[in-house]
Amino acid sequence: MSIERELNKRSGSKCELCGATENLKVYQVLPTKKGGIDESILACSTCIYQIENPDTVDLNHWRCLNDSMWSEHIPVQVVAWRMLSRLRAAGWPQELLDQMYLDEDTLAWAQATGEGEDDENKVIHRDSNGVILEHGDSVVLIKDLKVKGSSMVAKQGTAVRNIRLDHENAEYIEGKVDGQQIVIITQYVKKI
């Protein structure tokens, strides 16, 4: 059974965040270990767009979290916690956060993207020009890089798409070069 079909069955063909029934998509809750239904939710395009674009958040849309934060499904709880943390300055989200309980592993997963941290504590990744890098961005290598532990050399000008950030070190990102997942130092990349 496909992930989408399993999520439709689990959610009753509704967005697991707001309850919408149209434009539903599988949304992988990052960072993932093995993917699948245990690391995904079924969400509407409105929720997904606002999750991925924090500047477009409609505060009233997220009042739905009052219900969805109590979901029995861990990925839904993680996304609810992240959105409530992002919106907590509005007052009511902080009240909901205070009521929410996540076990240690779930809370660590929810915090893995840096959501909920004060801005001065956040790890910010910047490329060689000082441009802020975010998860899923594409970068290009600005010099040839030897890959430790292999004979591979990642050539200058190589595009690395859909990067992942190291949430403990602002100097490291991960991405695939020639089909191999490698760690890249941010001073050698430029955002495309």
| Cβ count near 86 (within 10 Å) | 17
Q: State the sign of the Cα–Cα–Cα–Cα dihedral 64, 36, 134, 172.
A: positive
Residue 124 pLDDT: 81
Q: Round to whole Å and give the CA distance between 102 and 106.
A: 6
The model's confidence at residue 32, banded by pLDDT at 50, 70 and 90, is confident
What is the average pLDDT value for the chain, to the nearest integer? 90
Residue 122 pLDDT: 66
Mean per-residue pLDDT, 90-118: 88
163 neighbors 173 (Cβ within 8 angstroms): yes
Mean per-residue pLDDT, 31-47: 92
Q: Which two tokens stand for residue 128?
A: 């060689």
141 neighbors 127 (Cβ within 8 angstroms): no
pLDDT exceeds cutoff 90 at 96: yes
Residue 165 pLDDT: 85
Averaging pLDDT over each range in 28-37, 101-110, 120-129, which range is the top one?
A: 101-110
Q: Could you give phi then psi for residue 124, rounded to 5 degrees? A: -110, 125
The model's confidence at residue 191, banded by pLDDT at 50, 70 and 90, is very high
Residue 168 pLDDT: 79
Taking only the tens place, the pLDDT of each residue in 113-172 is 877 665 555 678 889 988 888 888 899 999 999 988 888 899 999 999 989 888 778 899
pLDDT exceeds cutoff 60 at 76: yes
Distances (CA, A) of 159 to 77, 117, 137: 35, 31, 11
Helix axes 92-99, 74-87, angle to 10 degrees: 140
Residue 115 pLDDT: 74
At 36, the amino acid letter reads G
Q: Which of 92, 91, 90, 64 is nearest to 79 (CA)?
A: 64
Residue 173 pLDDT: 93
Mean per-residue pLDDT, 87-101: 93
Q: Which two tokens stand for residue 108?
A: 């660590």
45-52 contacts at long range (C-beta below 8 A, 24 or more positions apart): 46/18, 46/20, 47/15, 47/17, 47/18, 47/20, 51/27, 51/79, 51/82, 51/83, 52/136
Q: How many residues comprise the chain?
A: 192
Domains and CATH numbers, the chain: 3-111 (no CATH), 123-191 (2.30.30.40)
Percent of the chain with pLDDT over 70: 96
**Which residue's structure tokens are 């000008």?**
157
Please count the CA atoms within 13 angstroms of the CA of 33 that sit on its side-chain side.
4
